[in-house]
Amino acid sequence: MFAKKRENFKSKQQELLDYYSETANLYDSLHVDSNSEHSLALHYLAVFIKYYRIETILDVGAGTGRVARFLASEIPEVQVTSIEPSSDLRKIAIQNGIKGDLITPGDAYSIPFANGAFDLVCAFGVFHHLEDPNLAMEEMKRVSRKFLYFSDSNNYGQGRLLERNVKLFLRRIHLWRAFVFLKTRGRKYTISVNDGLAYSFSLLDTAKHLQGYSLKFMSTRSNDYNFLRTATHLALFAEKREA
């Protein structure tokens, strides 16, 4: 049973890698936009870097090097290391000007660095692609000395009002995961041309896995006062509390 589950896990990872291999030349046009939620999240991150005087950063699931390129232009003194499992995307990142020794193979489940190796570890648009975000969270916490930063989706704030209300009701009675399981016929994920293999994910659900951290949530899309109900995408800055 365990072997079959592990085989399925690897199969999904490979399916996602195949998607990025097939769309590598279109990656920036599909996923990198100066008006996107991730672009605004990058500007938020720049503020935190300057305020907290952060010096070293690890970007997990770097794609074509969006984070490193942005920070090199805005805060050139900060040192950004990137990991990306897709060799095709790493090649484009290097073509985009990222030094080869600063973008290396690696994924969120097994980060190839020592404990506390970086001041801050970040992930942009990564977690909604992960079958086991909790494992990735633990890895990011392990290699971070002090700070974590995420930019990702909030599935509960997406869709029409009725759809959002249904999602929140199912979440409240702890049936949301069961609903997703049934809706996707047991797969728990969807596949699309624009986003590949993706899971229903809310950055707000990560809070329970960040005990011991002070959290700051920010909306990266228009919303009203209720993040959970109306924000389609969010950014999260997490600071480890002193022991």
The mean predicted confidence, pLDDT, of the chain is: 90
Q: Does domain 2-158+200-240 fall into CATH 2.170.270.10? A: no
Which among 236, 235, 182 has a CA at the least distance from the CA of 39? 235
Q: Which pLDDT band holds residue 225 (cuts at 50, 70, 90)? A: confident
In this predicted structure, what is the pLDDT of residue 109?
95
In this predicted structure, what is the pLDDT of residue 8?
58
In this predicted structure, what is the pLDDT of residue 30?
67
Mean pLDDT of 34-61: 94
In this predicted structure, what is the pLDDT of residue 96?
92
What is the pTM assigned to this prediction?
Answer: 0.91
The more confidently predicted of residues 86 and 15 is 86
Amino acid at 224: D
Mean pLDDT of 24-44: 80
Who's near 28: CB < 8 A, 6+ residues apart? 64, 92
The more confidently predicted of residues 112 and 19 is 112
Q: Is the pLDDT of residue 1 over 60?
A: no
In this predicted structure, what is the pLDDT of residue 20?
73
Mean pLDDT of 30-48: 86
In this predicted structure, what is the pLDDT of residue 87?
94
Q: Is the pLDDT of residue 223 over 80?
A: no
For residue 86, the SS3 value is coil
Q: Which pLDDT band holds residue 235 (cuts at 50, 70, 90)? A: very high
* Domain residue ranges in the chain: 2-158+200-240
Q: Is the pLDDT of residue 26 over 90?
A: no
Amino acid at 21: S
Mean pLDDT of 108-116: 96
Q: Which residues of 24-33 are buried (b: 16+ CB within 10 A; e: fewer)?
A: beebbeebbe
Q: Is the pLDDT of residue 5 over 60?
A: no
Q: Is the pLDDT of residue 50 over 60?
A: yes
Which among 46, 37, 52, 104 has a CA at the least distance from the CA of 73? 46
Q: Which pLDDT band holds residue 85 (cuts at 50, 70, 90)? A: very high
Which among 177, 163, 155, 162 has a CA at the least distance from the CA of 228? 155
Contact, 140 vs 155, CB < 8 A?
A: no
**In the chain, what percentage of residues exceed pLDDT 90?**
73
